Amino acid sequence: MAIYTQRSELPAATVGTTGINVLMGILSAFFCFCACAALTTGRFSAADDYLNLTFAANTRRALGALFAAALTTSGIAAVMFVATVGASQSWEPAKRLEINGQTIGYLVLLLAPFLLSALNAVIGWVHLRPPKTPPQAWPNPYGGMAPPH
């Protein structure tokens, strides 16, 4: 009596695109980690109701660049994975990849660093932007108005 098992595996390690997918996934996770570090250190530019505009602008630029890098690497990995699954339809039935929960989960895993980098970029872009109104002058104890710093 044979037990029927449905074959649902991810592409084998011998497929050339799998190595590239893993490399792009690692790079995307690295860019996401760097975006988290940039956002964590970026909070030091806004302390005690004072915003260091130079450091905040540099942090915002870094978050944008890291978001673009995560988008590129995650996009390449996702497209290559979907192309591998699509191309496997012409393979022999024993090696064919079906679209199921495992393949969708793997695709979500490839896109997770991109989504987290996007969240970091949005949070950093909103919280580290310069104020809309310039700082106001305050009364000088020796007379007149002291200029803002």
pTM of the predicted model as reported, rounded to 2 decimal places:
0.74
Rounded to a whole number of angstroms, the CA Rg of the chain reads 24
pLDDT, one tens digit per residue, over 84-120 is: 888 888 877 777 777 888 888 988 988 999 999 999 9
The Cα–Cα gap between 21 and 82 comes to 11
- Kindly indicate the confidence band of residue 134, based on its pLDDT and cuts at 50, 70 and 90: low
